[in-house]
Every structure is written in C-alpha cells, then in structure tokens.
Structure 1
Amino acid sequence: MNRICVGLLFMSIVSVRGDCPNGYVRHDDSCYKFFSSVLATWAESLTYCELFESKLAVIETEREQTFIEGLLSREWHTGASDGVWVDGTDLLIEGEWVWADDGTPINTQGYNKWFPGEPNSLGRRGEDCMDLLHHEKYNWNDNSCERKQNFLCEIETEGSSGMGGGNANNGIIGK
C-alpha cells in the first residue's frame, strides 16, 4: 500500500511539473532554465543550450518578458553576471536584430523591451548579441558577444508554435 501511495505521489508531482525537464520552470508553452552558475560567451551559450535540447530564450510577448523578469529576479544571486544572454543578435547585418533560432526580425515582431538608447553598438568590436541587464530590471541591451555571462535557455513544448524540441536546426546560427 505504501509503495502505491509513493508511486501516486510521484506521478502527481511529475504531472504538476508538466513536460519540463528537471531544473526547468514551465510558463505557457515553454520551459525555462537560468544557468546562473555558468559563464559563457553568447556562442558558447547557444551550444550549451543545445546540449540540453533547448535554445537561448526568445521573448515574444510582454507576458513572457514579465515571467522571465520574475524568474531571473528570484534566481539571481551575488556572483551572477549582470547580463543574461538571450537569443537576439545582429551578427549578420548590423542594426537588423533577429532571433537567431529562426531568423524572425525583432523590430517587426511587435514586442520589444530595449533599454532607452539601446541597441547602440558601443565599442571597437561592436555589440551584436542581446542580453537582459539585471541592474536595469531586465530590459534588453546589446553587448559584445565575447563577454562571459549567464544565460537563459528555453524549450518549446508540444502545442507551441516553435519546433517542439528546441533544436535550432532551422535558425540562422543553427547546426
């Protein structure tokens, strides 16, 4: 009898967590994981997410942005980087920001949350990769892709408009 109760309890915990892998948090049709103890360049972050069958997070709505702000605020800690890598880039054409996962233009998407004055592509090497800045309430910022920062991965679950498993095979930077 005790084994049956433990089994039922385990099954109910799994169903509450949804389809998200261990360590990921569900929101709508996606699962997210903030890698707060790993520092990586933007390209390394892409690869790291792919190892977990996910992608760098793509922020498509204000609702999703609000959820991500809450998640990052709860999980941010002393020692975590100020910036958090997400999927946006203008590496291919300067000033034309897209989500690397599928090449969707960011400016025509209908939602963005750039910090005032951003993107500004400061510095000799420019700033071609998007991060969310902790000290600026997770507004969007362009930064040097070579900076080592924490990152946010996303897995789109079944029923979402994406590719289901989060594989970036059709993206501009994909395999």
Structure 2
Amino acid sequence: MNLKLLTILLVALDGSSTLTFVRRSPFHYEYKDIFYYFETFYKATWFKAFMSCSKMGMQLLSIDSDEEFDKIHEFLKDKIEYKPELSIWTSGAMKRIGQFNWINTGYPVRLSKWHPGEPNNYGGREYCLKIWINDNRFLLDDDRCDREMHFICESRKSSSDCIFYII
C-alpha cells in the first residue's frame, strides 16, 4: 500500500473525524454541503433502501427545500431515462395521516412538489414517500413501503468529515 495513502487513512481513523465512503460514479452528485448517490444497480423496499444507505455510511434522501428538489431533478434528468412510472425512494415516512416527516431529521416535509391529489394514503397502506415520474412530471407521492424501487442516499459534509472516493 502506498505510504502516503496509509498515512491519510491513519489520520482519518484517529477518532477525531468521521470517515465516509462515497462511490464516485456517474450517479454521484454534489450540491452545497451534500453528496448524493443514486442507486441504479438494484431496487429495494423502503426499509432495505434505508439499510443500504446506512451500510455505505450515508442516509436515505431528505430534501430541505424546493430549490434542492429542483437541483436533484436536474441531475437525474441528465443521468436517467424518463421511463413511465419510474419511482425513487426518499426518507419521508408518514407520522400521521397526511403528514410526512424526514426519518433522518424528524422535520416535516415542507415541499410544494406533490403530484395532484397526493399524498392520499391509497388503500390505507401508503406510509413511505417517493419521487415519482409520471406524465413527464417529477414530483412527490406516497406509496406502500414494501414496493421495490431505486433510491437516493446522501451524506452531509461537515468540517470534521473526511471523504474518500472509491473509483
């Protein structure tokens, strides 16, 4: 192993900083102080998506503003084919009927980017929040948590984080 790389790893692992691994790929995106990773290799239920992000040292996507939502949309529009019914998990989960919160922060979802008539808790079983592309519209929708779909992980960068890219 390269001595310089070993030194960097030892400094990073000394306990004073957090080590986060982020895959550098065409599906990796940075905006402000957040790194995003769009998982395209497999689909997962909401729970498995949550755990997959955790295993990478990341969290399932939480979106703080309509501006951030639009930036994520721009990124995905350039990277994926808009297929009818394409769905992507976020960390949104129902707290009470009609009220969603981000599971990572506990904050309410305060976005205006909902499909018309959503969230509707169709059949009384839609407790998880997804981004849904329908009629070429990229908007939020509630869905059953046991459905499998792609997902986005995120990692918020802080001054003590040490980011290593796997190329």
TM-score (norm 2): 0.73
Pair 62,96 (structure 1): closer, same or farther in 2 beyond 3 Å: closer
- Indicate which of 70, 73, 78 corresponds to 1:66: 70
Aligned length: 139
**Superposed displacement of residue 70, structure 1:** 1.3
Q: Indicate the structure with greater strand content.
A: 2
Structure 1 unpaired stretches of 5+: 1-18, 166-175
2:82–2:133: 8 Å Cα contact kept in structure 1?
no
Match for residue 33 of structure 2?
Answer: 29
Pair 65,51 (structure 1): closer, same or farther in 2 beyond 3 Å: same
Paired with 1:53 and 1:66, the residues of 2 have a C-alpha distance of: 25
Task: Describe the superposition over 1:57-94 as per-residue Cα deviations: whole angstroms up to 9, x where unpaired.
Answer: 1111122111111122222237896110011110x433
Match for residue 125 of structure 2?
Answer: 126
Match for residue 116 of structure 1?
Answer: 116
Paired with 1:80 and 1:41, the residues of 2 have a C-alpha distance of: 19
What is the identity, as a one-letter code, of the residue corresponding to 2:133? H
CA RMSD, aligned part only? 2.5
1:155–1:164: 8 Å Cα contact kept in structure 2?
no
Structure 2 unpaired stretches of 5+: 1-20, 163-167
Pair 22,142 (structure 1): closer, same or farther in 2 beyond 3 Å: same
1:86–1:151: 8 Å Cα contact kept in structure 2?
yes
1:80–1:150: 8 Å Cα contact kept in structure 2?
no
Pair 52,83 (structure 1): closer, same or farther in 2 beyond 3 Å: same
Paired with 2:156 and 2:101, the residues of 1 have a C-alpha distance of: 18
Tell me the SS of whatever aligns to 2:78: helix
Residue 102 (1) aligns with residue 101 (2): no
Percentage of identical aligned residues? 24
**Superposed displacement of residue 131, structure 1:** 0.6
Higher relative contact order (CA 8 A, sep 6+): 2
Paired with 2:118 and 2:58, the residues of 1 have a C-alpha distance of: 27
Paired with 1:164 and 1:89, the residues of 2 have a C-alpha distance of: 27
